[in-house]
Structure 1
Amino acid sequence: MAEILVPKIGMTMTEATIVEWLVASGDSAAAGQSVLTIETDKTEIEVEAPVDGIVRHGAQAGEVLSCGAVVGWIGGESGGATPPSGVVAARTPSAAATPIGGRRPASPNARRVADELGVDISVVDGSGPRGRIVTADVKNAAATQHSAAPAQDEVRPAQRGTAAAHFTARRLGLTIADVRPDDRLITRRDVELAAQQRFEGSRENSDLTTNDATVERHPMSTMRRTIASRMMRSLTEAAQLTLNMTVRMKRTVALRDEISGYLSAGDVVPSLNDFILRATALALVDHPTMNARVDGDHIVVANDVHVGMAVAVEDGLIVPVVRHADRLSLTQLADATRQLASSARSGTLGRDGSVGSTFTVSNLGVEGIDDFTPILNPPNVGILGVGRLRDEVAWSDDGQPRREPVLTLSLTWDHRALDGVPAARFARSIRDRLESPIQLLV
């Protein structure tokens, strides 16, 4: 029988949680068919069958396994497939799958909304592909739940929790019974709050201020813990230095306005950030040591240019990756960035959407920031911070003042990989293309 393994998606992924088996143990599946869904710290991923055959489960929903671990097997003829010796099949073909907490296929945003609205997602009917629950399904269920009081004789299973709730409870040394005595579906957030209350109850009050001020303590989400860990690792492992460079954007702004006049209704107009991404991608081709990573005593230079762009999402940050950004035209790049940003914010970013960047761009200009010090996104050796477009005074040849739009680029780089002069030349290469943007159209 062929093994079904937990895939490793990106160099930083170490483990995954089984969300849902899409094929029951004992049922058949074709090669390439999705057989289960796993959850990483960034997204949900469907794992495909490697060959045709009968599926046997080796792990259940809610279990956390390392990358490369065996979650099940597939192979054999119908009715004759058996797992390797010593492994008992999770269920028979006729038994209905009942993961911990009634976990059902649902989008990440639907699960978040269900937690917020107190909706038991295990009883929600899904309208998405293969019955997948989407956000609208949860909101409709919430409206129905609030408009109709439950029957007095209705009895709900006591102490039920989502798969994430069970997993979080195990990690925090709790049980679902420790969380709350009522019978409402327990979520991961409920477990985190219970752990927080238990922790605060055992603490001395010495951490409060002398004025007896109260504080609120909020457990970090999985995404926030991952970001915190990666940023601390970045600051402790890399020799980071930042330089700033002012770019005169008059010609780029004018070119963008001119391009928008030629586009049809519904066409995507390239943003200033798209111009900057395009200039950055071309500069990486000219300065390959910035398109690299440090591996021990080696500098590994990537042959392909995959530019990550930081996108703010609820309670965190995701870096979708524009693959082969140097090969895309300005309008193709604009289409790609819109689609990736939308997928990141909706929680539907695919398997390859957020891994493999060779350089990163982070734009805080939309938040009114002039310049800042971006932190490297491991294992990249460079990240470009983009400030807001602002007006400054420039002087004409005859000594007259004029208003000119400018912005500041903040380049952080790893001094282990390259020194200040090549880093400055890379930044200047980006600036020159933005100040003469006709280069970005060829």
Structure 2
Amino acid sequence: MAQERIHAVTLPKWGLEMTEGTVAAWHVEEGEPVTGGADLVDIETDKIVNTLEAEAGGLLWRAAPVGETFPIGALIAVIADPAVSPSEIDAFVASFRPVTLSEIESPPETQGGPDRSADAAAPDAAAGPDRGNREVNASPFARRRAAELGVDLATVAGTGRGGRISERDVEAAAAARTASALTVPDEGQVEPDDAGAAAPAYETVAMTATRRSIARTLVQSHQTVPRFSVVADLQVDELIRLRDDLRAGSQAPQPTLNDLFIKAAALALADEPDLNAHVRDSEIMRFHAVNVCFAVATKEGLVAPVVRDAANIPVIEIAHETARLAAAARARTLTGADLEDGTFTVSNLGMFDIRQFDAIITPPQAAVLAVGAIRREPHEDEASNVAFRSAVAVTLSCDHRAIDGALAARFLQTLRRHVEAPAALAGVS
């Protein structure tokens, strides 16, 4: 049978919270032979790029366009025996039934872990600005984006297979609509270039898959999380001395202040476990392991890899792990496991001389800690002596559904104890 000689290449599910992926690059040209186990296609997910290997040998056909985004389980190519005819491939593609997220995912069985079915809700539920959008040949993610941008899908020209409208098509239509609405300046107001043509007033840059993922997360956080923040100044002279002592006796990578803040936050979470939590609908999931995410700036946007079990590992090990993860983030070689199961986030802008800032909570996490720059300031002690000290402003932003003000204040008090008397951070009693 022809179907036994045709193998579907579908978008894989590489992470528990992954719902879509973008075709980044094909390693084999369409119509060319591929062997089983060979690198086939690079797939860009929320914040990483992974390579999918061919599961069978044959000729590659019907390769999806580079740059197009697909839901999990979607058909992105076929690998067929050389003897298979084009009509047989067409029939296979026409009869192909994608596997849905609900079929891919099994019920969670983690130890008190989150029910990720909320993240895996089928995006088909999102419709466009009107009922007519449901009848247009468009991907689920294009429909959701159309609803966000107020685009009528009936007015969008699809560039996908069979005229299917992609998320990128919707964004291009929205950009064109915005451009057409702009008032064209008089001829004398436009600066001509050297050839006499008017220079464009702006350029439109399509978001990468990473940037689109960040945008969705931020919008979700803003729209669904009732957030409040509390701020405290922490004295860090002893923390700086500890860092210098650790650096004197360790090999590269040497501990940074951020590593020490990650460790201090992890110990504070172990002391105040109600903050080490996820919030999903009407449930709060409190975790036993403290997995601290830390923010890393990359060219594609901010990513937050995870230091696992940070409360129980030495700060030297944390330093090695953060160095490894930061390098992988900038090289775009993070794996799905590097980004999953975070229970709390530390974001540090102190190296940019930012005094204080509010970080945005990453759902479903319940809180995030923002760390500012070290500053020198005068301080009066209990004996009325005035001296300069090093201080840092930290801001704890919380999801009010799970965390109240008193609990947030207790966490900052506990964090202060670990930061200002930091011997325990190095495992010194």
Contact 1:192 1:219 in 2 (8 A): no
Q: Shift in Å at residue 256 of structure 1?
A: 1.2
The equivalences for 1:313-328 within 5 A come to 313-314=298-299, 316-328=301-313
Q: Distance in 1 between matches of 2:211 and 2:339?
A: 16
Amino acid at match of 2:207: S
State TM-score, norm by structure 2. 0.67
CA gap 1:175/1:61 in 2 versus in 1, 3 angstroms: closer
What SS does the corresponding residue of 1:326 show, helix, strand or coil? coil
Q: Does 1:65 align with 2:65?
A: no
Structure 1 residue 354, shift from structure 2 partner:
2.8
Do the aligned partners of 1:56 and 1:72 also contact (CA within 8 Å) in 2? no
Which of 19, 22, 29 in structure 1 is aligned with 2:36? Answer: 29
Partner of 1:250: 237
Q: Conserved in 1, the CA contact under 8 Å of 2:63 and 2:78?
A: no
Aligned AA (2:356) = D
The one of 5, 8, 16 equivalent to 2:13 is 8
Kindly provide the amino acid, as one letter, of the partner of residue 180 in structure 2: S
Give the one of 87, 91, 106 matched to 2:92.
87
Render the CA deviation track for 1:86-127: whole Å, top value 9, x for unaligned: 3269xxxxxxxxxxxxxxxxxxxxxxxxxxxxxxxxxxxxxx
> What is the percentage of aligned positions where both structures have the same residue?
31
Equivalence map 1:28-427=2 (5 Å): 28-30=35-37, 34-48=39-53, 53-54=56-57, 59-62=62-65, 63-71=68-76, 86-87=91-92, 173=157, 198-199=176-177, 202-205=180-183, 216=202, 218-219=204-205, 221-222=207-208, 223-264=210-251, 267-314=252-299, 316-427=301-412
Could you tell me how far 1:205 is from its partner in structure 2? 1.2
Deviations 1:231-252 (A, max 9, x none): 1210110110100011111111
**How large is the RMSD of aligned CA atoms in angstroms?**
4.0
Compute the displacement of 1:39 (Å).
Answer: 1.5
Whether contact under 8 Å (1:21, 1:61) holds in the other structure is no
| CA apart distance, 1:408 | 1.1
- For residues 412-437 of structure 1, what are the alpha-carbon distances to aligned partners after superposition, in whole Å with 9 as ceiling and x for unaligned? 01010121112222222222111111
Larger mean Cα displacement after TM superposition, 333-342 or 3-12: 3-12
- Residue 436 of structure 1 pairs with residue 421 of structure 2: yes
- Over 3 Å counting, the alpha-carbon distance change for 1:23 and 1:314 in structure 2 is closer
The alignment covers a number of residue pairs equal to 339
Instruction: Provide the rounded CA distance (Å) in 1 between the counterparts of 2:35 and 2:17.
Output: 33
- Structure 2 contact 379–386 (Cα < 8 Å) conserved: yes
Shift of 1:334: 0.6
- 1:4-37 per-residue CA deviation (whole Å, 9 max, x = no partner) reads 542334455321122344478764425xx65432
Partner Cα distance (2:84, 2:40) in 1: 16
Instruction: Give the letter for the 2:239 counterpart.
Output: T
Deviations 1:329-358 (A, max 9, x none): 111111111121122223232333333321
Q: 1:193 to 1:227 in 2, by over 3 A?
A: closer
Secondary structure of the 1:221 match is coil
Distance 1:324 1:34 in 2: 33
| Alpha-carbon separation, structure 1, partners of 2:211 and 2:409 | 32
Query: What's the counterpart of residue 24 of structure 2?
Result: 19
Q: Which runs of 5+ in 2 are unaligned?
A: 95-152, 161-167, 192-199
Aligned-partner Cα distance in 2 for 1:391–1:429: 23
Q: 1:385 to 1:17 in 2, by over 3 A?
A: same
**More deviation in 355-364 or 319-328?**
319-328
Is the partner of 1:205 in helix, strand or coil? coil
**8 Å CA contact 2:260, 2:425 repeated in 1:** yes
Query: For residues 411 and 433 of structure 1, what CA distance do their matches in structure 2 show?
Result: 16
- CA distance in structure 1 between the partners assigned to 2:357 and 2:82 by the alignment: 62
Give the TM-score, by structure 1 length. 0.65
**CA distance, structure 1, for counterparts of residue 387 and residue 242 of structure 2:** 19
Greater shift after overlay, 13-22 or 38-47?
13-22
Partner SS, residue 234 of structure 2:
strand
Distance 2:52 2:157 in 1: 30
Distance 1:81 1:352 in 2: 39
Residues 196, 219 of structure 1: 8 Å contact kept: no
